[in-house]
Structure 1
């Protein structure tokens, strides 16, 4: 029950363990801030199994009746739009970026990753027998271009690494869609970048971006289609569900309402069930995972949370606390790694690590209840008793810089006006539009701004804090000056030889 119904279909089936008894061993479930990930077919509704309940509800009580629950799924051929195959968007290969029209196949005209001349994928096209490999793409006839880009799958004879075999030839756009869009695999960061560079996206003209086929959209319950319900903001959806009063549907509706209420209680009421999971932040992903487990009937589990309050407004922290307590009261053990004082307060047992960070830490400084922590002499205890001083003399602005009026996402014709030479804080409950206003509007209109966010540093295995902050440059220069040697000698990422060449051996 810790996985969605869709995921459970792919889990392996294990035989019973060859033991007589397993006791006092709790199943540990770590709920961290790793993003849920997924692909275009994964939404908030599918991740929380609310969509599964909605499909069940519609399959039993909607009219006209069109079939079982799978008939109301945009991930099933019975329910998906046949044109976009349930994605809601038409994603096509951007041939301007993917193909170099001034080159031939032999010159590397296919610019997609993995298609360099001599590679397996390149041979699929170059040795298909369909093209003159020295002919510039700009000189292709319409028939040749169609064959290169949009041809349907067919078999061709290939020789790769001295082995003859039949391979599947398909147009580049067809292959790109199959490998990057029409897949159940999770989209990686690299895959997302590739998609952004080599694809163009538009709303599906057949379903209007709704994902479902016409039969599903015409099947209604209380005047709503399943698409209507999944695109309502969650707090509005909860109100609509109050109108589903048929006693026969009550058990299903109550289950849906419980899960929607949990999402709202955890501060996600601004979302809708159609929100794609790859777009969720780490904090949002963690809260969605928490709600999934709140709806589980399993007990006796060990839940481990990694700083669940990050990014939450104080109002939402109290809601988080209520959910943590509910998990505990269901008969589970809950372990939370946390800094927020309001979360620390609700602990039945508190372990304070210290005394400092890094090499100065690693010891348990206190273990016990909250009242005992307050009287201990740890850094945490001192912080809990410390009051933050108010800024009673704010700086006078030296001018203002502002954004244009925006209605992006949930913004309501607002602009951000920031005083120069001062410290400005933008606050508000989760989902109120803070990040949209600052990151998506203000920062984009002012590219001169230095944006410091929580996204991972884009570096490689050779990078460390000293190289990233450029401290190593000063260190290398100092060593170079002291030793009369080039600075590259003191770098493991050298532009000059890292080791001086040995003197040739004497002939004497």
Structure 2
């Protein structure tokens, strides 16, 4: 058998690696975060295949950054990364995976009501209410109220704009009129008073003399509750998307939704979960052996095996996690019957309950019969079932990139952490309420000043609980999502963390002209505007850059680089990783931030590392850094903070959370699948889907979970 060969790999931090991959095998690439796993799997192995294919079929130049001495016998490669950059609301599972043609054929062959291209989102087919988006926009009450502000100071955040003076005065006039205490905070009001402020219009008009900037204006008007405003007139950051009442999320008009196939409407087919749709398709099969039906049924069946049974054909692609989208792509590969390719996977087991991982492993093993699988992975279950495993390490960043043994890697992951059981300072009962897309049942208890883990299988509602329900009940609460940080080409670890500005102030102390360091125009390279690279070619939608010859890629003006702190200029400092910066005595403020980044497992990153070039897990830990640096919040909802981490880094994060609970009385409510993380929690909240209802099956201290017969996670908890 001819091996796939790579020799002398020096991409990014990789240290002259020699790799052989056996066709029709499963090879796992393992190692700690930042060690070089993605550099090997995606930036080298996949990039080489893509480069060779592009040179044959594509006229456009694409710059690849791999460095390798020799390669041979490569295969056509498909990379399935855990990234979801799709922001098109009209993009659904049905359209994204080109399954609408199959469904059209199925409907045309089995329904007398069929009209041509019924499933397409053409102007004549779309829902007139949502215009084919599947949702409508509403003001999100959880985002518009600052619960720490008194009524007299105007707690409604969208009104804190240039018209703040007007809104504050008319609010106080209305409050005085209806007899509400202006010194109270919004959450201290009765439900009736809250409703009056949000949804009512005043009986009287008020003459308001107000200022905009330096100008004084006069306006006589009624008070109108903020929830009566048109959502279009409110900033997008205060808006939520609600499933369209008319089409229920199908995006299609009523005549299309009502098309019937064997007593099921097209709306039923589009909105039924894959778990339920599989049963519907099987009832169709009894009456018709249609090729397109078999193809759709095969996709649905594969999705169920991969832990995606909770999804439906109308599910919007932008709402999917990276893990869900990757597994959907795996399902599509199965039904496409593509063979003899290399499939490169990005932690396919992440975002899965331990019970669901076993099915995924079986499906991946089936894929390798006709294909070659390379997976970046931490999960021991998948690694143990692989044919070959490469370990990269020992450390991250510049100190990683070496091939090491499994024994060396296992030893490097040792981190001693004693479980801490914090006393409950206060408890809060929260009555669960149904969301437009999820039916919750019962109530839960949140114990403050504890580490609380939320466990369930995929799609049961962990994220919805953190994002939609808890903010309505918990004061000083902050949710940290898995969504990417909003960043541009100049966004770096240094700028996002604020450390870059702090270091600039140190440089300002080296000169009499302090203002010189405050203005970015003085310190950045004029030729590249601080990017470190210049645009050399723009063809179609692609842009190609080259290193700026004026600053040699640093992005800094040469005059600025003459100034030094600790014998180094600014460019030398931002190119050091966090691990090395720990040993510099900058200032108490900077040192505290650097230590926090280190404790979050980000010590391998440099301050000039672009936000756009770090993993989703690294981005989430950066957001956690930002939140922990802000002392305004006391309760945090974290969504899978261990994604992309090995055992040592997981334990380091737990250690940091313990420290925050002990020293700052914080509370962490964490949606997680990782049994190691859950085993160190004080309390566990476990949810389970029962038909269309989500119920709480366990809500207590972790010591009691072994006695819960319904629990699906207890057998994985380490005791």
Scaled by the length of structure 2, the TM-score of the pair is: 0.45
CA shift, 1:397, in A, is 0.7
Residue 582 of structure 2 is matched in structure 1 by none
CA distance in 2, matches of 1:221, 1:320: 32
Residue 396 of structure 2 is matched in structure 1 by 357
Q: 2:299 aligned to 246, 256, 259, which one?
A: 259
Would the alpha carbon gap of residues 266 and 388 (structure 1) be closer, same or farther in structure 2, given more than 3 Å must change? farther
CA shift, 1:76, in A, is 4.0
Would the alpha carbon gap of residues 397 and 332 (structure 1) be closer, same or farther in structure 2, given more than 3 Å must change? same
Match of 1:425, SS state, is: strand
Residue 423 of structure 1 is matched in structure 2 by 451
Q: 2:354 aligned to 310, 314, 333, which one?
A: 314
Describe how 1:394-413 pairs up with structure 2 within 5 A: 394-408=421-435, 409-413=437-441
Match of 2:454, SS state, is: coil
Describe how 1:143-154 pairs up with structure 2 within 5 A: none
Would the alpha carbon gap of residues 197 and 240 (structure 1) be closer, same or farther in structure 2, given more than 3 Å must change? same
Residue 409 of structure 2 is matched in structure 1 by 379
Residues 29 and 304, structure 1, Cα contact 8 Å, conserved in 2: yes
Q: 1:435 aligned to 442, 446, 463, which one?
A: 463
Residues 488 and 495, structure 1, Cα contact 8 Å, conserved in 2: no
Matched, 1:448 2:488: no
Aligned CA RMSD, in angstroms, stands at 4.0
Residue 45 of structure 1 is matched in structure 2 by 94
Describe how 1:224-235 pairs up with structure 2 within 5 A: 224-235=264-275
CA distance in 2, matches of 1:309, 1:479: 46
Residue 337 of structure 2 is matched in structure 1 by 297
CA distance in 2, matches of 1:280, 1:212: 21
Higher strand residue share: 2
- Larger CA deviation: 357-366 vs 214-223: 214-223
Match of 2:312, SS state, is: coil
Gap regions ≥5 residues in structure 1: 1-13, 103-176, 178-192, 367-372, 501-508
Would the alpha carbon gap of residues 325 and 194 (structure 1) be closer, same or farther in structure 2, given more than 3 Å must change? farther
- Larger CA deviation: 282-291 vs 215-224: 215-224
Residues 407 and 414, structure 1, Cα contact 8 Å, conserved in 2: no
Residues 88 and 208, structure 1, Cα contact 8 Å, conserved in 2: yes
Residues 432 and 469, structure 2, Cα contact 8 Å, conserved in 1: no
Matched, 1:242 2:282: yes
Describe how 1:70-219 pairs up with structure 2 within 5 A: 70=117, 72-76=118-122, 79-81=125-127, 86-88=132-134, 203=244, 210-219=250-259
Gap regions ≥5 residues in structure 2: 1-53, 59-71, 139-157, 164-231, 525-556, 561-719
Scaled by the length of structure 1, the TM-score of the pair is: 0.62
CA distance in 2, matches of 1:202, 1:255: 28
- After superposition, what is the alpha-carbon deviation per residue over 1:348-397, rounded to whole angstroms, capped at 9, x for unaligned? 1111111211111111114xxxxxx3xxx3124664xx799784x62221
Which structure has the larger Rg? 1
Q: How many residues end up aligned between the 2 structures?
A: 368
Residue 327 of structure 1 is matched in structure 2 by 367
Would the alpha carbon gap of residues 444 and 26 (structure 1) be closer, same or farther in structure 2, given more than 3 Å must change? farther
Q: 2:76 aligned to 13, 21, 27, which one?
A: 27
- After superposition, what is the alpha-carbon deviation per residue over 1:385-434, rounded to whole angstroms, capped at 9, x for unaligned? x799784x622211124544321232423444221221111111111111
CA shift, 1:251, in A, is 3.5
Would the alpha carbon gap of residues 247 and 25 (structure 1) be closer, same or farther in structure 2, given more than 3 Å must change? farther
CA distance in 1, matches of 2:430, 2:522: 43
Would the alpha carbon gap of residues 217 and 473 (structure 1) be closer, same or farther in structure 2, given more than 3 Å must change? closer
Matched, 1:338 2:377: yes
Would the alpha carbon gap of residues 303 and 202 (structure 1) be closer, same or farther in structure 2, given more than 3 Å must change? closer
CA shift, 1:309, in A, is 2.0
Would the alpha carbon gap of residues 284 and 488 (structure 1) be closer, same or farther in structure 2, given more than 3 Å must change? farther
CA distance in 2, matches of 1:358, 1:470: 21
CA shift, 1:323, in A, is 2.1
Describe how 1:278-297 pairs up with structure 2 within 5 A: 278-297=318-337
CA distance in 1, matches of 2:450, 2:245: 47
Residues 402 and 442, structure 1, Cα contact 8 Å, conserved in 2: no
Residues 488 and 494, structure 1, Cα contact 8 Å, conserved in 2: no
Residues 476 and 487, structure 1, Cα contact 8 Å, conserved in 2: no
Match of 1:350, SS state, is: strand
CA distance in 2, matches of 1:212, 1:495: 55
Q: 2:107 aligned to 58, 70, 77, which one?
A: 58
- After superposition, what is the alpha-carbon deviation per residue over 1:35-65, rounded to whole angstroms, capped at 9, x for unaligned? 1625233211222344432221221112x24
CA distance in 2, matches of 1:462, 1:357: 23
